[in-house]
């Protein structure tokens, strides 16, 4: 896995990257009560706000970590937003994005670098 400074995790499988938020981010948000996901087949550019998460504490956005096309969304999160708190790095992935250049992942943190980033 790779990690962003915004507490997203990225998992590459071929040219598809699965994106979710880290356990640290889920803990900071508190109880998640609403998730709005992007539309399928949406072309996104790195930095585009594409997911809205609302918790009892705050509302947050997830930005696209890479350029690409949304090829799958996790509809289970819309029905059960609490999955984000229950299993942030597993069942609670947000979307899958098809990318053209997997070398773009090289600039993100590995697990050790991310732990250092959050002070663990």
Domain positions in the chain are 2-97
| Average pLDDT over every residue of 6-16 | 95
Among the residue ranges 5-9, 57-61, 75-79, the one predicted with the least confidence is 57-61
- Rounded to whole angstroms, how far apart are CA atoms 54 and 81? 9
- Rounded to whole angstroms, how far apart are CA atoms 111 and 89? 13
Read off the pLDDT of residues 77-109 as tens digits, 9 standing for 90 and up: 999 999 999 999 999 999 999 998 888 899 999
| Average pLDDT over every residue of 33-54 | 96
In the prediction, which pLDDT does 102 show? 85
SS3 state of residue 72: strand
H or E stretch at 98? strand 95-98
CATH of 2-97, one of 2.40.50.100, 1.10.1660.10, 3.40.50.10800, 3.30.1490.20: 2.40.50.100
pLDDT band at 16 (very low <50, low <70, confident <90, very high): very high
Task: Calculate the alpha carbon distances from 30 to 9, 24, 34, 57, 90 in Å.
Answer: 18, 10, 12, 6, 18
């Amino acid at each position: 896995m790779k990690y962003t400074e915004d507490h997203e995790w990225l998992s590459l499988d071929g040219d598809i990257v699965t994106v979710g938020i880290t356990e640290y981010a889920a803990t900071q948000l508190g109880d998640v009560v609403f998730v709005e996901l992007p539309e399928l087949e949406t072309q996104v550019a790195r930095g585009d706000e594409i997911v809205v998460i609302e918790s009892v504490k705050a509302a947050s956005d997830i930005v696209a970590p890479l350029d690409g096309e949304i090829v799958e969304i996790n509809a289970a999160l819309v029905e059960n937003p609490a999955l984000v708190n229950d299993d942030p790095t597993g069942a609670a992935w947000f979307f899958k994005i098809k990318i053209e250049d997997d070398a773009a992942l090289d600039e993100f943190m590995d697990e050790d670098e991310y732990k250092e980033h959050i002070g663990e």
